[in-house]
């Protein structure tokens, strides 16, 4: 069935809207107003394209329409007359921007500015995620609400407040440099990583996987890698997400139930994504100096899994070493828990259980269902089945995702 004209136009807009918003935001210096002007351009397209036909370059058409409206808005502002006096007689004769920028790199620069603005640390993590998915992912408010299982009004409020906060704090629409850039880049990468993780292993709800969120995050990571080719951690994150996404098809069974790594059919892993991941990891290594960053190290760990033909052939000693390096540069109880799993495979369950028991008092892991889950697995391998059953049952009580809860409950029952 051929897509309806309205559906085709909305699809084009979803693909082009991040660049349109970015290009307009450079003029109006306000992402909220820029989004409204981009929506105005969509309305114009819905009115004109079915009648006149889709233009040869729909992205340029949308950009030109939105930028013309931005120029009109600027000219209507009360402060325009004062600015005329300050800037001189050349400004009134300035023509609106051309339909296509003379230098395509200008658009990319604007897109990069939008990335850093939407992920500004002045916003909460939830607000950054919602705003990024709206402005850069092209998702609607209902789509974001469904993805994160929160009410639509909650998402709408987060987006509105985020745009107001950026305006109130007078956040510059720019790419920071120097130390500020490194700090802000960490926020950008974190947002993309959080979006992917929510799709890869949903924290709550009926479904364990939400592939659409993984795809959105992966697309954002690829865009960022193209915009910042000299940043090793950007390539590290892209590599990590490529590797993780390559296993998506094998991570659930026909009924949607989770399939553990050791039980996955590796022939279902996506070899094209694995190849992309290896290329991105090579770029991260080539462009970095000294010890790799956290995302590059996680990508290297994921690579160990993807290149192994079977679960038994996995290079667990190398993974344990990589987790040690990761713990040194990005200390975290969760990293230590993952290192314990690698140690259990490389050296046996007994030394790993000691590492896990040392984490029992960590406040950050008090309600983390994977801590008793890992402990249960180690106890089971040590033939301490009664204790293992109690740990799996405890893990199931902490799990918020229905599919994970079912898996852990089943593992507890299998320990009888």
> Does the pLDDT of residue 26 top 90, yes or no?
no
Q: For residues 26-55, give the mean pLDDT.
A: 88
**What is the percent of the chain with per-residue pLDDT over 90, rounded to a whole number?**
45
Contact 302, 277 (CB under 8 A): yes
pLDDT in tens, 159-193: 999 999 999 999 988 888 877 887 789 889 988 98
Rounded Cα distance, 51 and 44, in Å = 11
pLDDT in tens, 349-360: 999 999 999 998
110 pLDDT tier (thresholds 50, 70, 90): confident
Rounded Cα distance, 304 and 323, in Å = 12
Of 81-90, 109-118, 351-360, the range with the lowest mean pLDDT is: 81-90
Distance, C-alpha 220 to centroid of its chain = 7
> Does the pLDDT of residue 288 top 80, yes or no?
no
Strands (E), 189-340: none
204 pLDDT tier (thresholds 50, 70, 90): low
> Does the pLDDT of residue 102 top 80, yes or no?
no
User: Around 213, how many Cα atoms within 13 Å sit in the side-chain half-sphere?
Assistant: 26
Give me Rg for the CA atoms of the chain: 25
337 pLDDT tier (thresholds 50, 70, 90): very high
Please count the other Cβ atoms lying within 10 Å of the Cβ belonging to residue 1.
Answer: 3
Output the pLDDT for position 301: 97
User: Comparing C-alpha atoms, which of 362, 390, 397, 361 is closest to residue 375?
Assistant: 390
> Does the pLDDT of residue 81 top 60, yes or no?
no
Rounded Cα distance, 212 and 76, in Å = 41
pLDDT in tens, 220-236: 899 999 989 999 999 99
Output the pLDDT for position 4: 61
> Does the pLDDT of residue 99 top 50, yes or no?
no
Name residues whose C-beta falls within 8 Å of residue 148's C-beta, 6 or more positions apart in sequence: 129, 155, 198
Output the pLDDT for position 209: 56
Contact 382, 349 (CB under 8 A): yes
- 364 vs 170, 265, 267, 294, 370, CA distance in Å? 34, 33, 37, 19, 12
Tokens for 346?
A: 């490389």
**What is the percent of the chain with per-residue pLDDT over 70, rounded to a whole number?**
88
pLDDT in tens, 376-406: 999 999 999 999 999 999 999 998 888 889 9
């Amino acid at each position: 069935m051929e897509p309806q004209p309205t559906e085709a136009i909305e699809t084009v807009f979803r693909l082009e809207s991040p660049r349109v918003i970015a290009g307009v935001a450079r003029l109006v210096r306000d992402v909220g107003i820029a989004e409204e002007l981009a929506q105005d351009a969509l309305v114009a397209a819905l009115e004109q394209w079915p009648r006149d036909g889709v233009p040869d370059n729909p992205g340029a058409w949308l950009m030109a329409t939105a930028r013309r409206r931005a120029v009109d808005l600027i000219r209507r502002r009360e402060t325009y007359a004062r600015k005329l006096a300050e800037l001189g007689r050349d400004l009134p004769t300035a023509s609106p921007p051309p339909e296509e920028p003379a230098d395509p790199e200008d658009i990319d620069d604007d897109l990069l500015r939008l990335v850093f603005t939407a992920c500004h640390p002045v916003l909460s993590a939830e607000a950054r995620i919602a705003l990024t998915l709206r402005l850069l992912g092209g998702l609607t408010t209902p789509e974001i609400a469904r993805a994160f299982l929160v009410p639509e009004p909650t998402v709408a409020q987060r987006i509105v407040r985020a745009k107001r906060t950026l305006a109130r704090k007078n956040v510059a629409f720019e790419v920071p440099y120097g130390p500020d850039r490194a700090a802000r880049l960490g926020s950008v990468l974190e947002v993309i990583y959080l979006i992917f993780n929510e799709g890869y292993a949903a924290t709550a709800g009926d479904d364990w996987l939400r592939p659409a969120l993984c795809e959105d995050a992966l697309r954002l990571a690829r865009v960022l890698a193209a915009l910042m080719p000299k940043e090793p951690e950007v390539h590290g994150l892209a590599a990590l997400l490529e590797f993780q996404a390559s296993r998506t098809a094998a991570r659930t069974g026909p009924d949607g139930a989770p399939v553990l790594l050791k039980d996955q059919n590796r022939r279902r892993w996506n070899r094209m994504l694995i190849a992309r991941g290896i290329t991105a990891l090579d770029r991260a290594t080539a462009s970095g100096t000294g010890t790799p960053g956290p995302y590059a190290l996680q990508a290297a760990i994921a690579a160990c899994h993807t290149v192994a033909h079977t679960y038994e052939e996995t290079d667990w000693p190398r993974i344990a070493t990589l987790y040690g390096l990761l713990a040194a540069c990005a200390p975290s109880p969760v990293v230590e828990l993952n290192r314990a799993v690698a140690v259990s495979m490389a050296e046996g369950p007994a030394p790993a259980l000691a590492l896990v028991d040392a984490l029992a008092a960590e406040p950050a892991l008090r309600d983390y269902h994977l801590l008793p889950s890992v402990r249960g697995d180690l106890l089971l391998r040590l033939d301490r089945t009664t204790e293992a059953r109690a740990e799996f049952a405890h893990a199931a009580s902490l799990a918020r995702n229905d599919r994970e809860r079912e898996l852990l409950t089943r593992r507890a029952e299998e320990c009888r």
